[in-house]
Structures are given as C-alpha cells and as structure tokens.
Structure 1
C-alpha cells in the first residue's frame, strides 16, 4: 500500500498545481485598474464625457478607471493605441463621431466595425457654430454674406484634421457655397481658446465645452448643427433653419474595445454604462452640457458606426474634401 501512495500523492499534487492557474483565470472581471483612452486632449467635449463615465464606472465596477488622453490625427492615434491592446477588457477607448469620418478621409488599415469591439454609445448632441464675442455678423445669413464678399478670408477652427468638426465646417461651406479657411488644432480646448482670443473667426464647438463660454458672454452662438434646437439654448436656431436646409451633423461619443473582447466582458461593461446613462443625475449632467444620454446594445452601436462611416465617406467624395 505504502508503495502505491507515492504515485497517487504525486498525481494529487500535480492536480492541485494545475488548478491554481485555472482559479486565477476565473477571477471575476475586473480585478485590476482599467484604462480608458480618450482620443482627444484634456478640456474638450470628449474629455469631459470620458472623465464623467470613468468616475461612474470606477464606482460601479469597484476598480479605478484611469483616463489616458491620446490625441492626434482626428482621433486615430488613440484608436490605434486601443486597438493594439490586449482584448481583455482592461483597455477601453472613448471614440467620437470623428471615428466615422476617418474612413472617408484616410486609407485606413482596419475596418471601423469589424476590427474593434463596439460596446456602447454614450451620448449624442449637436455642435454649436460659435465665434468670438466681437465678431460682426449677427446671424448665419450675415456670416455667409461676409464669406461671399471676402472668399477665403474667414477662418474656422477644428479639433484636428479629419475630425467631425473639420467635416462640419467643410459641409457648411459647401452647402452655403462659400470658402472658409480651415485652421486645425490638436484639440478642442486649444481651438476654443483661439476663437475666444479672436485668432480664429468660427468654430463648430462641442456643446459641453462651449456652453459655459456662451453663458459667460465670451462666445457668440449662431446655430446648432442638429435637426432640432438645443434645449439649453432654445433661442438659437438650427443651421437648417438659418438658410441651409438638410444640414444635420450630430456629435456622439461611445466606447469600443480591441477586436476579440470576450462576450461576457462586453456584456458587463455595456450593462454598467447603460445603468449609468439611465440615472437622472446623468441626464441632468448631459443636458447641462448640451447633450443627451444614448445607450443601447453593442449591435446598435456597431450599426451606427457602419451607417455613419458610409454617409461621411459619400460626403467626403462628393465634396472632394481632403485631410488638409
């Protein structure tokens, strides 16, 4: 008997060692901090939304969600950093609608839907056409008249070449049949600062970053880019109402992960974000920033990305827009 115990003991010991890694693999998600890459600079609309969601997710998931700003190339630098990460749920990326503009402007080496893991749309809202407080035109019609009188003299800022703000300005110019000179920045914060300081004439601003400056009298609001007026600025018309029918640009933010994320982790993050978006506090916060909570399933978000990428690609081709 004693001679038989040796192999049995050895087998049991080996079984115990084999079970330990399996137990480690089975640790509930998340068991360490999560990185949220924000594809634009601190202080802009993306950063405001990203930090709000990161704070709420940290509380609901029980692990720190650390915001990492990776701006540049219309969001592509941050997107590529996220795509290159392990698909384990510990690196997420906050994208904006600029993500769907890039396929039409650049020769991307990835598919905007198939080569990421769409998780959830976070928010939606308009851009606001603004100028510095002393800009002479009183409305969109007068901006267009001035631009026609001085072709190429009026400038508009963007948060970067290839951003949805860049395309919003180009689309405005094409619809109005005027030439506006594009001045790209490395983020919305820098663009806004130069508009306020009168270095640039116009900007299609994210509402979250523009509203406080509008209310403080440092920016003049002319129109919102959505098909409906913004509740936070009920007296400000839409671009379509201002003489450019059919003009409609929506700014949204959403979360994606690297391609191949496990379905259970996608479901967990999607569920937690949807719960955050359903809270009255979130609706109030987003309304203050001129946006609304979105939410929904990963499949719905994937459909939105694919649909808008097609629309923007057609617009870029039709208008002959270049990345500058």
Structure 2
C-alpha cells in the first residue's frame, strides 16, 4: 500500500510540475506551425495613408506577398504620433500574423516624448528587420545667402535666436533634427511647428521661414527647381538620389546624423521561426532590383537587416534620441 501511495503522490507531483511549467513564460510562445504562413499577414502602418511610411510599406508588402505566397495586407491605424497603431500590434496575439511597420518615432522618439506610453518599445516587441533608411535634408531659402552648413552655423552663431526653422510639428523627427543641430553646433534658432511637413515646406519656399529640416523625398523636387537650397543630407553617406548634396558631417558639423527609418516588428513572444521567415522575406523584398529602384526614387535606402541588428539599432536610437528630446523641452501628455 505504501508503494501505491508513493506512486500516486509522484504522479500528482509530476502533474503539478507540468502545469506550473505550462503556465510559465514558455506558455506565452505560440505553437510553431510548419506551414507558416498559411493565411494573410496584417502589416499595421501607424500613420495615415499616403505618407512616406505608408508608401514604403505598400511597395515592400507587395513583394513580400510574392515571396511568402500569402498576402501581406497593409492596415493604416493612425493616432498619437504612431503610438495607437504600435500599441495595437503590441497587444496582438504573437502568432506571426500581425506585425508593425515601426519608425524612428514609434521606437525611439515617442518613448521620451510622451509622458504616458501604451507600450515598451523593447520589451513588447520582437525585432524582425530594418528595411529602409530615409535621409533628412537641411534646406534654406535662397535669400538667406548661405551655401554650406558651415556658413549657416557661422550666421546662426552671429545672430542667436534671430532665425526661425520650420518642422512638421512639436516632437517630430524633423523638429528634433533641428534641436540636435542646435545642440551640436552651439547655435540657437526659433522653432516654428506646422501641422505636417507639406505646409512647413510651402512657407520655406515662400520665404516666410528661412530654414527647415525635412525628409529628402519631400524636398527633392523643390531643391531641383531652385525653390530651396539643399545644404546637406543628414545621413553618414551621401544619398544616391542626390549625390551632389554633401552630408552635414562632411560640410561643417562632424558626427551629426539623423534619418527616418522603417522596420518590421512583431509582438513579443512571436516564435523565432516565424521571425526568421519574416526577416528573410523582408530582406529579400528590399534587395529585389525593381523594389530597390522604386525605393531609391523615394530617396529611401534599402537595408534588410537581421533581427539582432534591428534590436541593436533600436537600443542605439533610444539612447541617442532620449537626451535630444529632453534638451528640446518637448513633451506630450496623452
């Protein structure tokens, strides 16, 4: 009898241990399906349709659909500077069928800008692939009579707080690109926020504001027409879309670098097998010659990173932008 009781106790103990394991962290992982993906994948763009992130996402999604042999459907979910869509993905089932087209805003700037964040950019997401980088550009009205970043810095240092610079809004990457420029160059300008980059650029072309930090795709047409002067792009290397425009770093402010970027993220807990499949498809999509050419027309530079490389990129961007946001004084309480 004692032996029977011991065996029964051992069975109950084993069952209890098994249940404890099943309800632990490993339970968060979805079971891996060998035929993934076997239905459409939602790619959430956390901004309105027609913007640069949306356009890039649709180009890449179309090619990924071919590669994965399943539709990658773009869904726009705008609001709170990208936070609404990002939070929705963070709360989604980690099954590989809902992913986010994240940006420098959702994963680097907003965490420092918003006093209340609905997600953690590192803990709540599994990085998949950094797809493209999009350069910014420093543009000035021709009447400012400066031809280089060095000349602009000299003018601003001689006239602190005299000149305005336009941006697409408080706390946006374009605003903070200007704030970083001020911090690194020791200059002071007056920030003039607009409701979007389009209206801001129109006023710069009209000469109402003399300086702007803009996305290169938005300004390239006016630069070519002579409506504004493109002093420098903000990336480490010159843009293939505008090879005659030097970088900020090489033309008067060494070490300066800002740019927008687009990357795919999945909810935390998504099986690594799915992450790897998505990362491979994303890298293959942006590496396709036709897709690469279309992205280049938009001044977007194809990357196609590994998940580990995107993870390191996000952490570096968070470390970079946090102090810039703090120094700018920008804060949104939502």
Scaled by the length of structure 1, what TM-score is found?
0.78
SS of residue matched to 2:235? coil
Unaligned residue ranges in structure 1 (runs of 5+): 1-24
RMSD of aligned Cα (Å): 3.0
Equivalent in 95, 105, 108 of residue 102 of structure 2? 95
The match for 1:127 is 136
The match for 1:20 is none
- Kindly provide the CA deviation profile for residues 66-118 of structure 1, in whole angstroms up to 9, marking residues without a partner as x: 33333444432322222232322332211122321233333435432121111
SS of residue matched to 1:67? strand
Equivalent in 274, 283, 308 of residue 292 of structure 2? 283
Unaligned residue ranges in structure 2 (runs of 5+): 1-31
Q: Does 1:140 find its partner at 2:149?
A: yes
**Matched pairs, number:** 299
Equivalent in 48, 53, 71 of residue 46 of structure 1? 53
Conservation of the 8 A alpha-carbon contact between 1:74 and 1:162: no
Equivalent in 106, 115, 123 of residue 114 of structure 1? 123
Per-residue deviation at 1:202?
3.0
Worse-matched range after superposition: 171-180 or 134-143:
134-143
Matches within 5 A, 1:246-265: 246-265=255-274
Conservation of the 8 A alpha-carbon contact between 2:216 and 2:233: no
Conservation of the 8 A alpha-carbon contact between 1:159 and 1:188: yes
CA distance, structure 2, for counterparts of residue 273 and residue 52 of structure 1: 11
Over 3 Å counting, the alpha-carbon distance change for 1:187 and 1:265 in structure 2 is farther
Over 3 Å counting, the alpha-carbon distance change for 1:65 and 1:218 in structure 2 is farther
Conservation of the 8 A alpha-carbon contact between 1:151 and 1:180: yes
Scaled by the length of structure 2, what TM-score is found?
0.76
Conservation of the 8 A alpha-carbon contact between 1:41 and 1:189: no
CA distance, structure 2, for counterparts of residue 297 and residue 256 of structure 1: 12
CA distance, structure 2, for counterparts of residue 51 and residue 145 of structure 1: 42
Per-residue deviation at 1:299?
1.7
Per-residue deviation at 1:175?
2.1
Matches within 5 A, 1:93-242: 93-98=100-105, 99-107=107-115, 108=117, 110-131=119-140, 136-148=145-157, 151-185=160-194, 187-196=196-205, 198=207, 200-242=209-251
CA distance, structure 1, for counterparts of residue 286 and residue 252 of structure 2: 35
